[in-house]
Structure 1
Amino acid sequence: MTTQHQPGTADHIADVQRADPELGGLVWRHSTFSQGSDQTCRDVAFTPGQVVVRDSKDPEGPVLRFTAREWEVFLLGVRNNEFDLPLRRTPRP
């Protein structure tokens, strides 16, 4: 059975379990907005005090590691449109 996720809701992230010996079998999550052939998805996993990001096309490749606080600050910037592409930037009301 396939679960449909409603875009823009808390359940919009899909969990992906992959074997990863170096990272101890973490549960990797990716946005359901990245489905299809565009192959733009990044996977995110949460460990105690850390957030790990990898390229979904290269699950055995390098990862980026952030503290929980670094990740929180980054997400605040995303929600505030601070990382929008320059041509798409829309001021917030």
Structure 2
Amino acid sequence: MDHERAHWFKSSYSGANTTECVEAAHLRHAAAVRDAKAPDGPVLTFSNASWTDFLTAVRHQQFDK
């Protein structure tokens, strides 16, 4: 997968704080995530199904204590 040509974006919740952000990109058959402070660093890649499951869990606050 070519992460270099991906359109990376930050969450609208990030605001001006870029010290604790991740960036995401939609790839053809996957989603990619990287540290905004280190765009040339490692990239985590998730299947579309896994990424959708993760986002659904976040929206339903399944990770909140």
TM-score, normalising length: structure 1: 0.62
Structure 1 stretches of 4+ with a deviation exceeding 6 A read none
**Identical residues among aligned pairs (%):** 34
**Within the alignment, does 1:76 sit opposite 2:48 as a pair?**
no
- Report if aligned partners of 2:18, 2:36 keep a CA contact under 8 Å in 1: no
State the distance in 2 between where 1:24 and 1:59 align. 9
Q: 5+ residue gaps in structure 2? A: none
SS at 1:71's partner residue?
helix
Match of 2:16 in 1: 36
- Residue 23 of structure 1, CA deviation: 1.8
CA distance in 1, matches of 2:26, 2:16: 25
> Structure 1 unaligned runs (5+)?
1-21, 87-93
Q: How many residues align?
A: 64
Q: Distance in 1 between matches of 2:16 and 2:25?
A: 21
In the TM superposition, what is the alpha-carbon distance from 1:37 to its structure 2 partner? 3.9
Q: Which fold has the larger relative contact order, with Cα–Cα distance below 8 Å and residues 6 or more apart in sequence? A: 2
RMSD between aligned residues? 1.5
Give the TM-score normalised by the residue count of structure 2. 0.85
Aligned residue for 2:43? 63
